[in-house]
Amino acid sequence: MTLLLALLPTPWVLDQIRANAASDFGPLADRVAATWEQAWNSTGLWLWPTILILAAAGGTIYALVKKSPVGLVAGLVACSAVGGIGYRAVVLPNQSWMLATNASLSALKEICALPEGSQQWRASGCEGRAPKIVRAVSFAEPSLVFELGNKITLEQETSTDIPSIAEDNRPAWLINVGDAAGKKALDTLVQNAAAADRCIRFARRYAFNYSNGDPSVLVAAVVEPGGCPSGETAPELRPSSEEDEAPELDQ
């Protein structure tokens, strides 16, 4: 079991796991796998989880050979702690494709679109005006609703009308464009933003909906109160932690 725990977080094994999961995204498989790999590599963890697990196992075996009860107990506790805490706190949270809620929050954070008053907004490091709520379209993860509480609404695909600036200075959406209704909703939102001469920012993540196992292409979008500078794409409020270059969206 220890050997299995040590092998799973190695780059080679994770590459195979991610490639197999990415295949569910069809023609986007290569891009999805590359995005997930980049996200993991950006953590700088490399082989450290494996090294720590093997070190704890080695210490336990040494204590067993030396017949040291205290050392054996300490080694077993270390193995449990390094393995359990390492996977729960380090390995799994950085495999965003396994955790759709984390992927959603990451996308919203990238464009500073976490809702006002939420713990996530306060911890994001973003400044300025926050969206009042997030409107989720074709995506209804219960854990995301639990995280954001009354700061998220589950909208119908037609709910892409942009509220007035007085009502919501920077309205935000989280749309699953892997679903036909979600893709239509994003297209309509872009058209509405263009008609209102307001800049719209995007961040994209690929994850699995744990409720039904379906692959989800999540796009976080926020509509700014004004137009994009010089008619160009709006500058990012923070550097992306998962994608160097956002893929193009249908206009």
Q: What integer best gives the mean pLDDT of the chain? A: 76
Residue 92 belongs to domain spanning: 2-96
Other C-beta atoms closer than 10 Å to the C-beta of 181 total 15
Q: In the chain, how many domains are there? A: 2
- Of 168, 178, 176, whose CA–CA distance to 198 is shortest? 168
pLDDT digit string, tens, across residues 151-189: 998 865 557 889 999 999 999 999 999 888 889 999 999
Same domain, 63 and 107: no
pLDDT digit string, tens, across residues 43-57: 656 566 677 777 777
pLDDT digit string, tens, across residues 84-131: 665 555 555 555 556 788 889 989 999 999 999 999 999 999 988 999
Phi, psi of 248 (to 5 degrees): -70, 145
More confident residue, 219 or 160: 219
| pLDDT confidence tier of residue 216, bands split at 50, 70 and 90 | confident
Same domain, 173 and 82: no
Determine the pLDDT at residue 246. Answer: 44
Same domain, 114 and 195: yes
Determine the pLDDT at residue 174. Answer: 95
Is residue 248 assigned to a domain?
A: no
Same domain, 77 and 116: no
Determine the pLDDT at residue 14. Answer: 65
User: Worst-scoring range by mean pLDDT, 16-25, 49-58, 117-126, 209-218?
Assistant: 16-25
Bridge partner list, 220: 174, 203
Is residue 135 assigned to a domain?
A: yes
More confident residue, 2 or 251: 2
Beta carbons within 8 Å of 155's beta carbon, 6+ residues apart: 135, 136, 137, 173
Is residue 106 assigned to a domain?
A: yes
Is residue 182 assigned to a domain?
A: yes
Instruction: Kindly tell me if the per-residue pLDDT of 215 is higher than 50.
Output: yes
Determine the pLDDT at residue 224. Answer: 94
Among residues 62, 96, 130, the one where a domain terminates is: 96
Same domain, 177 and 68: no
d(CA 68, CA 56): 15
Determine the pLDDT at residue 156. Answer: 59
| pLDDT confidence tier of residue 222, bands split at 50, 70 and 90 | very high
